[in-house]
Amino acid sequence: MATTTFASVKLPGALVEQARQAAQPMRRSVASQIEYWATLGQIVEHTGLSVQEARSAIEQYESAAAAAVTPAPPSVDALTARLLAAQSRGTLAQRVRRVVEDNRARAATLA
């Protein structure tokens, strides 16, 4: 089994409290919630999306995943592994770009 090293960092109390509140419904620890947010932030930063575009893409991605028949991953580690695998394959970035393009096209038709 691979050894994981850990490091302590100081975080603002307000951020830790937000993570605590967000973690409860997802049954994550505070540390896992912050890791989840960090992973999403890395993906967003890597793809060059705005915060709003990322939120929209994540919402649509989660809606599509919820509608799928496949069961949810059994753990945060499994979800993180799936996100990182999708990132390395480029499929998540492709999906995000497609969602952004679709949203921009819809917005252009409404303008």
Asked whether residue 74 is domain-assigned, the answer is: yes
Q: What is the per-residue pLDDT for 73?
A: 54
Considering only residues 11 and 1, tell me which one the structure prediction assigns the higher pLDDT: 11
Domain count, the chain: 1
> pLDDT tens for residues 51-104?
788 888 878 877 776 776 566 556 778 878 877 888 788 777 788 888 888 888
Q: Which two tokens stand for residue 10?
A: 């100081």
What's the chain's Rg over C-alpha atoms? 16
Q: What is the per-residue pLDDT for 70?
A: 60
Asked whether residue 3 is domain-assigned, the answer is: no
Q: What is the per-residue pLDDT for 72?
A: 56
Q: How many CA atoms lie within 13 A of 42 on its CB side?
A: 12
Q: What residues make up the domain containing 46?
A: 14-110
Asked whether residue 1 is domain-assigned, the answer is: no
Asked whether residue 9 is domain-assigned, the answer is: no
What lies within 8 Å, CB to CB, of 13 at 6+ separation is none
CB atoms near residue 63 (< 10 Å)? 10
Asked whether residue 8 is domain-assigned, the answer is: no
Asked whether residue 26 is domain-assigned, the answer is: yes
> pLDDT tens for residues 6-28?
888 999 999 999 999 999 988 88
Asked whether residue 40 is domain-assigned, the answer is: yes
pTM for the model: 0.47
DSSP 71: P
Q: Which two tokens stand for residue 40?
A: 């999403």
Asked whether residue 33 is domain-assigned, the answer is: yes
Q: What is the per-residue pLDDT for 21?
A: 93
